Amino acid sequence: MSLDDYLKTHTPPAPKEKQQPAAPKPKATLVAAVPRALGARSSKHTIRLHEKYQGLGIPQPEFEFEGGSVEGWWGKVVFRGLLGSSSSTTDADVGLSGEGARVGENGDVEVSEKGPFGSKQEAKEKLSEVALGVLEGLEMAGLVVKRVRMKKGSDDVAVEGKLANNEPVVNYVGQLLEFQRSTASPQPTYADYQLGTAFTCLITIDNNNDTTTTTTTPSTFGSLTGPYFSSKKAARHNAARLAVTHYKTQGLWPDSSTSAGGIKKPKKSLPPPQSPTTSPSTTTTTTDPVPSYAHRVATLATTLSLPSPHWSYETCASTPGFHTVTCHFPSSTTASGHEGPIGEVRHIYGKKRAKEECARLTLEYLLAVREARMEYGRDVMDGVVGGEAVVGVALGVPVGGGGEAESGDEGFVSAVEE
């Protein structure tokens, strides 16, 4: 094939045109990022609900939550015992139909929200908003009233209206306890009962003080059907008040008691003194304690004008605890002939016992001296008018005999004249 034939058969492609440069792409406009709403966080209604139930004086509501961070949160809020003992009240009776609220057992009011919500706080805020509306509606309907607390020390009871002014505060529990103690009776037994958030109490007391009945069945004060109180203390106070009122009605309560207490145990009246009776077979005599021999020796020595006795002790090293004791009267004009030793005892165990034994013998000696002096005085005054009145003067004058130095009649007469 020639070149011409080839060119005829194969037409060469037309030359490519020069391509124009591509137009530049327009720059993308930057759009500011907008945050995605996760949920509103506010405590407005939670705070308002808190202020509301505190203002009404009702118990704090309980929040219960379900769910999680994936599926969201929902829950309910419960007002325990809000409607009191009206447990048979229906939702329609209190106007709660269609509001996500219902009346539960024992007067509980439940408010629920299905949600779901992004967090517990958001669910709580929504529950508080709905519960606040329900609470305000019940208040307007008169089903929830403001509860007023009494002053400290009185019945802590929920009541309607205002409290009585200047109402005396009486501690009935303390008074009942003092009354039982004053009569030596068993202490009362308090049994507490609860209905929702309300309380009542029963007191059981033995019939030791009640003279109007002979039964041994204990007395019970209080009631399970009301009235109900907002605390156990108030319920016990009311039961004790009923018991005190009962005893006052029966005339068993002491007149000396006051509202401040102070009931004392009455003293037992003593029987009137009876004249002592004596029988021929038995006689009872009461005597003072017998003084020791040493004391009697000292007293008699003074009567006989003798010096105070002096006790001399001797011990033996070979026999410890054993004593030899003698009595001496120091030398003087009146002690002439009685210097001693007198009443010597030997080897007596115990110092006190040895002294008493020596004093016993010394006393016998001094009694003999006294008798001798009295006999001498009677002989001298024999036949003298009124001499019997001065015979005792002879006790203080040595008259001779018995070891005494003789002083003669002159000494006795001069003593009488003095």
What is each CA distance from 187 to 173, 216, 357, in whole angstroms?
11, 16, 61
Q: Are 108 and 81 in contact (CB under 8 A)?
A: yes
CA 235: distance to chain centroid?
21
Report H helices in 251-382: 293-303, 351-380
Q: Which of 88, 111, 107, 108 is nearest to 98 (CA)?
A: 111
The structure's pTM equals: 0.32
**Residue 76 three-state SS:** strand
Q: Are 151 and 169 in contact (CB under 8 A)?
A: yes
Tokens of 185: 């009776």
As a whole number of angstroms, the longest Cα–Cα distance in the chain is 220
pLDDT at 357: 92
| Residue located via tokens 């019945």 | 155
pLDDT at 153: 43
What is each CA distance from 288 to 275, 356, 357, 399, in whole angstroms?
21, 19, 21, 34
Q: Are 336 and 405 in contact (CB under 8 A)?
A: yes
pLDDT at 212: 55
Q: Which of 366, 354, 357 is nearest to 309 (CA)?
A: 366
Q: Which of 164, 132, 137 is nearest to 148 (CA)?
A: 164
What is each CA distance from 319 to 96, 264, 348, 350, in whole angstroms?
109, 63, 10, 11
pLDDT at 301: 87
For the chain of 418 residues, list the mean pLDDT of each consecutive stretch of 10.
77 70 74 64 81 84 88 87 63 58 78 84 88 86 69 43 46 85 82 86 76 65 84 89 88 69 57 54 56 88 86 86 89 71 88 91 90 82 65 62 51 51
For the chain, domains (ranges, CATH) are 44-140 (no CATH), 172-249 (3.30.160.20), 297-417 (no CATH)
For the four alpha carbons of 311, 316, 317 and 320, in that order, the dihedral sign comes to negative
**Residue 51 three-state SS:** helix
- Residues pairing with 78 in the sheet: 62, 110
For the four alpha carbons of 104, 105, 108 and 113, in that order, the dihedral sign comes to negative
Residue burial 350-373, b: 16+ Cβ < 10 Å; e: rest: eeeebbbbbbbbbbebbeebbebb
